A and B are shown apart, each in its own frame.
Chain A
């Protein structure tokens, strides 16, 4: 599962960890986050996030 980065603040959504404070269970793929999920740090919308290229 791919990680995604918030363009505004640099927060990285890691599907392994999920976003427990935001009610997102560990193991939730980015694609399966609800559409109204937003960056837990700066509030940026889900559709702002960009996939991280793993290297």
Chain B
């Protein structure tokens, strides 16, 4: 059995930020980072560009081999932590190795959620989370004429745009009443939909999938309303589920994610969690800035510093097919309170206020220049725009 000071399970942003934060404080500690994927830390947000060939795999790799070497980080790719014994402080790796650790960070991320549609196991039905997923979708797209994307959230829309860029006829199906339901209100979603329809995408909104059909491989998606959409490629983008398995099996407290306190500490001594797998104050973020901050703070705490994580402001800035979308705070999608909306073509702006006129949320589509001032106004609970 080998011994090391820090074992980091997961080579995504949370794991790598933690490794860097540890190294900055502990020049001599032995750090092992174990990543399940064969590729080192990369820009997961750019997988859509991999599908349509805008970039190759090399461009996505964020840290070169030298970085791991210069920081004395023992990176093991293609290896996962299968389980661990929190009493003995020993982790079992999938390559058969057993490692005694002093501190263990679980930054194992999340897996795509596959709703239990009949036919979801047919060849040609895919999810998108990793480089290898994207490369597989790219090769399937090369032989496909039509695709259906199930899920009109951020990942689904980005993938749908990539498939259109690849020359496919693409229909997006979503059970919600509007696109990007986690980021924008119905009207904002409508503006985004209009822009994407202009690019040639088709939509079935407020539509349930009944089943996925095909003999030997996928041929169509059958909607509950009776419509049949032919497709030889189906991409399911129905959200993620935090990876809690190994933590739960070793007796660590989990809920939707692995439960952590403000010091990113789990219920087990010496075991920490950060990123998409972690649940902090009841929240699983699933966004890059939160994973980055949690990883950085977990690393500092693991190296003995008194640091604490207070949460990440839930705001989104994104860009789909060149269209910028920004949202923050309570966007009141059901119009229950004081809202101000302004739409002009493909530019949309929505401000929501509380009963005292203080800004509590906003959606901007197309033109997001004022986002900084809005973030400040929401953060400080001030009226916006300021009078005078």
Q: Is A52 an interface residue (CB 8 A)?
A: yes
Q: What's the minimum C-beta distance from A38 to chain B, rounded to whole angstroms?
A: 7
Alpha-carbon gap, A8 to B158, bound state (A): 14
B224 surroundings in chain A (CB, below 8 A):
none
Q: Does B373 lie within 8 Å of A42, measured CB to CB?
A: no
Q: Does B372 lie within 8 Å of A52, measured CB to CB?
A: yes
Say which one of B41-49, B124-132, B237-245, B349-357 lies at the interface with A. Answer: B41-49
Q: Is B318 an interface residue (CB 8 A)?
A: yes
Among candidates B46, B292, B317, B373, residue contacting A55 with C-beta atoms closer than 8 Å: B373
Q: Which residue of A lies closest to B325 (CB)?
A: A7
For window 46-61 of B, CB contacts with A under 8 Å fall at 46, 49, 54-55, 59-60
B373 surroundings in chain A (CB, below 8 A):
53, 55
Contact count band on A: 10 to 19
Q: Does A9 lie within 8 Å of B369, measured CB to CB?
A: no
Alpha-carbon gap, A53 to B368, bound state (A): 9
Q: Does A55 lie within 8 Å of B324, measured CB to CB?
A: no
Q: Is A51 an interface residue (CB 8 A)?
A: yes
For window 17-55 of A, CB contacts with B under 8 Å fall at 36, 38, 41-45, 47-48, 50-53, 55
Q: Does B322 lie within 8 Å of A43, measured CB to CB?
A: no
Q: What's the minimum C-beta distance from A12 to chain B, rounded to whole angstroms?
A: 10
Q: Does B372 lie within 8 Å of A45, measured CB to CB?
A: no
A5 surroundings in chain B (CB, below 8 A):
317
Q: Is B148 an interface residue (CB 8 A)?
A: no
Alpha-carbon gap, A50 to B317, bound state (A): 10
Q: Is B370 an interface residue (CB 8 A)?
A: yes
User: How would you classify the secondary structure of chain A's contact residues: helix, strand, loop or mixed?
Assistant: loop
B319 surroundings in chain A (CB, below 8 A):
7, 48, 50
Alpha-carbon gap, A45 to B54, bound state (A): 10
Alpha-carbon gap, A5 to B375, bound state (A): 14
Q: Does B288 lie within 8 Å of A9, measured CB to CB?
A: yes
Q: Does A44 lie within 8 Å of B43, measured CB to CB?
A: yes
A7 surroundings in chain B (CB, below 8 A):
317-319, 324
Q: Does A47 lie within 8 Å of B322, measured CB to CB?
A: yes
Q: Does A43 lie within 8 Å of B46, measured CB to CB?
A: yes
Q: Does B46 lie within 8 Å of A44, measured CB to CB?
A: yes
A9 surroundings in chain B (CB, below 8 A):
288-289, 292
Q: What's the minimum C-beta distance from B242 to chain A, rounded to whole angstroms?
A: 20
Alpha-carbon gap, A36 to B49, bound state (A): 13
Q: What's the minimum C-beta distance from A51 to chain B, rounded to whole angstroms?
A: 7
Among candidates A10, A42, A51, A53, residue contacting B43 with C-beta atoms closer than 8 Å: A42
Closest 9 CB pairs of A and B: A43-B43, A7-B317, A53-B369, A48-B319, A43-B62, A8-B45, A8-B288, A9-B288, A7-B319
- B residues sitting closer than 8 Å to A (CB atoms) are 13, 42-43, 45-46, 49, 54-55, 59-60, 62, 288-289, 292, 317-319, 322, 324, 368-373
- A residues sitting closer than 8 Å to B (CB atoms) are 5, 7-10, 36, 38, 41-45, 47-48, 50-53, 55
A-B contact pairs, 18 of them (CB 8 A): A7-B317, A7-B318, A7-B319, A8-B317, A9-B292, A10-B289, A42-B45, A42-B292, A43-B43, A43-B45, A45-B49, A47-B322, A48-B319, A50-B368, A50-B369, A51-B369, A52-B372, A53-B372
